[in-house]
């Protein structure tokens, strides 16, 4: 399958490989989204805090690909948590995107010190009922955060978008999510590029005649994860999507399993992050 999808707990399907656009200004986002849709992607991951929702919307319209064929995710920023604030922030995101619905709306971080993520989650439930967010989920939630919103609202998120790459494989959190029907989506899937020169990865790439980035994206796909590699370079954007013509073998998987490191986190720890 050249465009595999994962079926979410609400019955909707998300394309397994999407384009990440963090740290991409509006202009760059227009071009990156156009390049990605031309290369076959049908999934884009942005956030209010990335300040490029306008560019993403513009790229989408410029691509000529029908709106309903593209899966668009955006996220609620921490300063906008709370029931009413989240509803207002969502309207602002839709306005910047120039869309009348998003496919997926996520709470970007649990921000546990604010203790507003349950109220925010209730707002997302309402947005889903209104059909303006077709699916709703979370990002950077621990197993405890997931269990709390399910216990208090009865509504599980369709997915949890978390830092996940060969050096930080998140086995326990993936298993906790799976128990609740929560799919896992990998952010910084290439370790922000730092994993591309790892000797275990370059050896596998050489063996298959593929690039290190392709080996890592392929590993996420074969692991049942949703994956959103970021690039603004059209050739690399295309390369990162061209992962359906080869497969990893048991030796490759064992070598990548060996890279997992409990201290391999690159980004903030959601339980201690101060924002
Ligand atoms: P990534 O792991 O996708 O790495 C991106 C970097 O790798 C690029 O900037 C580039 O330097 C390099 N790269 C990409 N493709 C390459 C290729 N084919 N060859 C060589 N180098 C290549 O890092 P990321 O941007 O941190 O994560 C991806 C996406 O995840 C983001 O754009 C964003 O959408 C999402 N994200 C979400 C959160 C969150 O809190 N929810 C946090 C970080 C990132």
Quote the percentage of the chain above a pLDDT of 90.
98
Q: Of the residues 50, 83, 101, 117, which is catalytic?
A: 50
- 106: nearest Cα among 176, 45, 190: 45
Q: Establish if 263 belongs to a structural domain.
A: no
Q: Establish if 133 belongs to a structural domain.
A: yes
DSSP 8-state assignment for residue 17? B
Cα 169 to Cα 47: distance, rounded to the nearest angstrom: 23
3-state secondary structure 146-171: HHHHHHHHCCCCCEEEEECECCECCH
Q: Establish if 81 belongs to a structural domain.
A: yes
| Cβ–Cβ under 8 Å, residues 49 and 80 | no
Compute how many other C-beta atoms are within 10 angstroms of the C-beta atom of residue 174: 20
ipTM field? 0.99
Q: Establish if 26 belongs to a structural domain.
A: yes
Q: Establish if 6 belongs to a structural domain.
A: no
Summarised one tens digit per residue, pLDDT across range 123-155 is 999 999 999 999 999 999 999 999 999 999 999
Place of tokens 């009413």: 84
Compute how many other C-beta atoms are within 10 angstroms of the C-beta atom of residue 164: 25
Cα 218 to Cα 244: distance, rounded to the nearest angstrom: 8
pLDDT band at 1 (very low <50, low <70, confident <90, very high): low
Average pLDDT for the chain: 97
Q: Quote the ligand 1 centre to 230 CA distance (angstroms).
A: 4
Summarised one tens digit per residue, pLDDT across range 185-225 is 999 999 999 999 999 999 999 999 999 999 999 999 999 99
CA atoms within 13 A on the CB side of 128: 19
Mutation to probe ligand 1, out of 14, 22, 213, 218 (largest number of atoms < 8 A from CB)? 22
Known binding residues for substrate are: 108
Radius of gyration from C-alpha coordinates of the chain: 18
Summarised one tens digit per residue, pLDDT across range 46-65 is 999 999 999 999 999 999 99
The verdict on whether 50 is a catalytic residue reads yes
Angle among Cα 175, 178, 182 to the nearest 5 degrees reads 130
Which pLDDT does position 275 carry in this prediction? 80
Q: Establish if 184 belongs to a structural domain.
A: yes
What pTM does this model have?
0.98
Q: Quote the ligand 1 centre to 9 CA distance (angstroms).
A: 26
Q: Establish if 55 belongs to a structural domain.
A: yes
Tally of structural domains, the chain: 1
Q: Residue 74 sits in a domain of what CATH number? A: 3.20.20.100
Domain span including residue 177: 12-257
Known binding residues are: 108
Which pLDDT does position 2 carry in this prediction? 76
- 193: nearest Cα among 211, 208, 209: 211
Summarised one tens digit per residue, pLDDT across range 80-122 is 999 999 999 999 999 999 999 999 999 999 999 999 999 999 9
**E strand residue ranges, 181-273:** 183-187, 226-227
Q: Is 90 exceeded by the pLDDT of residue 18?
A: yes
Q: Quote the ligand 1 centre to 272 CA distance (angstroms).
A: 22
Q: Establish if 47 belongs to a structural domain.
A: yes
Ligand 1 site residues (CB inside 6 A) read 20-22, 45, 108, 139-140, 161, 187-193, 196, 211, 213, 228-231, 236, 239-240, 267
């Amino acid at each position: 399958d050249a465009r595999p999808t994962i079926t979410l707990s609400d019955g909707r399907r998300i394309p397994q490989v999407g384009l990440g656009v963090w740290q991409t200004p509006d202009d760059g986002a227009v071009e990156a989204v156009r390049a990605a849709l031309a290369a076959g992607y049908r999934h884009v991951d942005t956030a209010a805090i990335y300040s490029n929702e306008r560019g993403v919307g513009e790229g989408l319209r410029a691509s000529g690909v029908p709106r309903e064929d593209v899966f668009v995710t955006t996220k609620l920023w921490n300063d906008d948590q709370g029931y009413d604030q989240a509803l207002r922030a969502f309207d602002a995101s839709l306005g910047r995107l120039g869309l009348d619905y998003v496919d997926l709306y996520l709470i970007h971080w649990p921000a546990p010190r604010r203790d507003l993520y349950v109220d925010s989650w209730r707002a997302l439930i309402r947005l889903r009922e209104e059909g303006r967010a077709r699916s709703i989920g979370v990002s950077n939630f621990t197993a405890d955060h997931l269990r709390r919103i399910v216990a208090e609202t009865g509504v599980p998120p369709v997915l949890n978008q978390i830092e996940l790459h060969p050096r930080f494989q998140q086995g326990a959190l993936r298993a906790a999510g799976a128990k609740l029907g929560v799919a896992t989506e990998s952010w910084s899937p290439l370790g922000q590029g730092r994993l591309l020169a790892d000797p275990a990865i370059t050896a596998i790439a050489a063996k298959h005649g593929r690039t290190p980035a392709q080996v890592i994206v392929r590993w996420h796909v074969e692991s049942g994860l949703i994956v959103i590699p970021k690039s603004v370079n059209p050739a690399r954007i295309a390369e990162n999507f061209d992962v359906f013509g080869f497969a990893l073998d048991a030796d490759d998987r064992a070598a990548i399993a060996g890279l997992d490191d409990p201290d391999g986190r690159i980004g903030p720890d959601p339980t201690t992050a101060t924002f």
